[in-house]
Amino acid sequence: MAGMTDQSVTPSLWRFVDEDDPTGLTLIVDTPQGPYVRRISPAMPRPVGVEPGIGAEEAAHVAAATWGLPDFVFRSALASKGSGQRELGDRLLLSGSRGAVVQVKSRTIKPKADPEERVWIQKVTAKAMRQAKGTVRTLRLQPADMINGRDRTLPLKGEAYEWMAVFLLDHDQVPADTVATWEPIGMPALALTRRDWDFLFDQLRSTTAVLDYLFRVADEPPIALGDEPVRYYECAAADAAAPPAEIDTELVGPGGIQFSTPLLPQVPAESGETRAHLMLRFILEDVATSMLRNWVSEHDRLIVLSDLDRLPVGIREEWGQLLLSMLDDVAQVPEGDVKWRFRRQLDADATRQTLFSCATRFGEDVQASFASYVMLRHHEVAERTGRPDDLATLGVLLTPNYDGSRPWDTTMIRTHGPSGLTAEEVRDFDQLWNHRPSNG
C-alpha cells in the first residue's frame, strides 16, 4: 500500500494519506499510553432503491439512532405557513436543553470540475443554513408535534431549547480543502460531511456528547469539509492536557473524591464492545422502552434519558464494570438479607447528581428505602450548595432478576428543585443511611 504521513496538523497528530484511496483518512494520535491509530470509515451507505437525497437523510438518521439513541433524533414535520406548509428540518437532534436542526444536501449528479463543485457546495450550504434558521423561527412561533426514532410524539416548543444549525453534505468527491461558508444566521452553525457525522457518533456513542461537541466547535472558524475528525482529535488532545478544575468534594459529603476525565476520549467509546462498555446503553434502553413508556409525558421521559446520557463518555466503561461487579456482589448474601452498593456522581457545576445503586432483591421495602436514599442525598447536596432550585438528582436502582428473563431489573426515580422533606423525614432518613451501629 502506497502512502505518506503528514504532521502539519499538530505535534501530536499525524494524518496518513493512502495514495491508492484519496478519500480515505487515517489518523495517528500520540497519547500518554502510546500511539493510537484511528481509521475513519466512510459514511454509512445510503439505503438501496431510495432517491439519493432521501437516502442520505435516512442514513444520517440511522447513524444517530444506532450509535446515539433513537429517542433523541426526530424526523421532519410540516408546519402551517400562510396558505402553505414549511418543512421543519430534515432531522432534529434534541437532548436536555439543546437542539440541532440538521439539513442534509446530496449531490445527485456526477460531480463536475473542482471549481464548479466548490460553487455548488457554497450554494447548497447557504440554502441549508437559511432553511435551518427558518425552522427555528417557526418552532419558536408555534409548537409542532415531532416524531422520534421510537415513533413517539413530542409536542415541541422551540423557545425551550438552545438551537444550532448543522449542514450535512452527502458528496462522494468533495474537492480537497473545500471550506463551506455562509452568512451569519443568528445562532451557532456548522458544516460537516456525512462521514464527519458518522465519525462523531461512532466515536462518542452518546447523542448528548455529540451535541455538546457540535456546540463547542460551532463558533470556531470553519475548516475544510471532511476534516472534522482532525479537529476532534486536536480538541481531545487539548482536553487530555488540561489540568482538572478544582471542585469542592465536600458537596457530596465526607469522603467525596474528585474525578476528572477528558470530555472527548481519544479512543472510541465502546471500542471493545464488552458488556461493561454496553452497560449504560442497556440501562438507557430499559428506561426508554419499558419503565417510562406509559406513565410519564414524552417531555419528561426525554429529560430522564438526557440526564442518564450526560454521564461522561470517558468513565462509562469503568462505571459499567463497577455496576456488573456490584450486581454480582449483592446477590451473594444469605436468603432474607438485603445488601446495598452505591456509586454517585455530582457534575462540576453541582446541578446534576446521578446515583446508581444495586440491591439484593426488589420489593416494596427496597423501593421505599431507595427512594428515601435518593431524596436524602438530593436534600443534602441542595443544602450544601444553597441552590436547591438548580439541582436535579437521578437515581437508578438495579436488582438481580431471578426468573431468568433478563440479567437485572431497573428502577428509576428523579427529583428536581427543593426536596420538600420535613425535618422529621430528614432525621429519619439520616438515621437510616448516615449512621452505622457502633461495635461497642
**Predicted pLDDT at 275:** 77
DSSP sequence for 99-157:
EEEEEEEE--S----HHHHHHHHHHHHHHHHHHHHHHHHHHHHS-EEEEBTTS-EEEE-
Is residue 12 over pLDDT 80? Answer: no
The pLDDT tens digits of the residues spanning 311-356 come to 999 888 889 999 999 999 999 999 889 999 999 999 988 999 999 9
- Comparing 20-29, 348-357, 415-424, the range with the smallest average pLDDT is 20-29
Pairing relationship of beta strands 98-106 and 162-170 according to DSSP bridges: parallel
DSSP sequence for 36-66:
EEEEEPPPPPPPTTS-HHHHHHHHHHHHHHH
Q: Report the distance separating Cα 255 and Cα 56, nearest Å.
A: 51
CA torsion sign, 387 to 348 to 377 to 437? negative
- From the list 219, 122, 110, the residue with the least C-alpha distance to 178 is 122
Interval 365-389 mean pLDDT: 96
CA torsion sign, 409 to 414 to 419 to 422? negative
pLDDT bucket at 18, cuts 50 / 70 / 90: low
Classify residue 224 by its DSSP letter. B
**Predicted pLDDT at 259:** 81
Q: Where are the beta strands (DSSP E) in 306-407?
A: 340-346, 352-359, 392-400
**Predicted pLDDT at 77:** 83
**Predicted pLDDT at 84:** 59
Pairing relationship of beta strands 392-400 and 153-156 according to DSSP bridges: unpaired
Cell of 273: 464492545
Q: Specify the domain boundaries for CATH 3.40.91 within the chain.
A: 52-229
pLDDT bucket at 436, cuts 50 / 70 / 90: low
**Predicted pLDDT at 437:** 56
Q: Report the distance separating Cα 410 and Cα 405, nearest Å.
A: 13
DSSP sequence for 236-297:
HHHHHHSPPPP--GGGG-TT-------SS-SSPTTTT--HHHHHHHHHHHHIIIIITTTTS-
Percentage of the chain modeled with pLDDT above 70: 90
Interval 75-95 mean pLDDT: 78
Q: Report the distance separating Cα 311 and Cα 184, nearest Å.
A: 33
DSSP 3-state of 417: coil
CATH number, domain 52-229 = 3.40.91
Is residue 158 over pLDDT 60? Answer: yes
Is residue 290 over pLDDT 90? Answer: no
**Predicted pLDDT at 14:** 72
**Predicted pLDDT at 82:** 57
CA torsion sign, 222 to 223 to 227 to 231? negative
Is residue 177 over pLDDT 60? Answer: yes
The pLDDT tens digits of the residues spanning 240-277 come to 888 887 888 888 888 888 888 888 888 887 665 567 77
107 CB-near residues (< 8 Å, 6+ apart): 52, 120, 169, 170, 171, 172
386 backbone φψ class: left, alpha, beta (φ>0; ψ -120 to 50): left
- Comparing 38-47, 78-87, 126-135, 390-399, the range with the smallest average pLDDT is 78-87
Q: Report the distance separating Cα 413 and Cα 403, nearest Å.
A: 24
**Predicted pLDDT at 339:** 96
DSSP 3-state of 318: helix
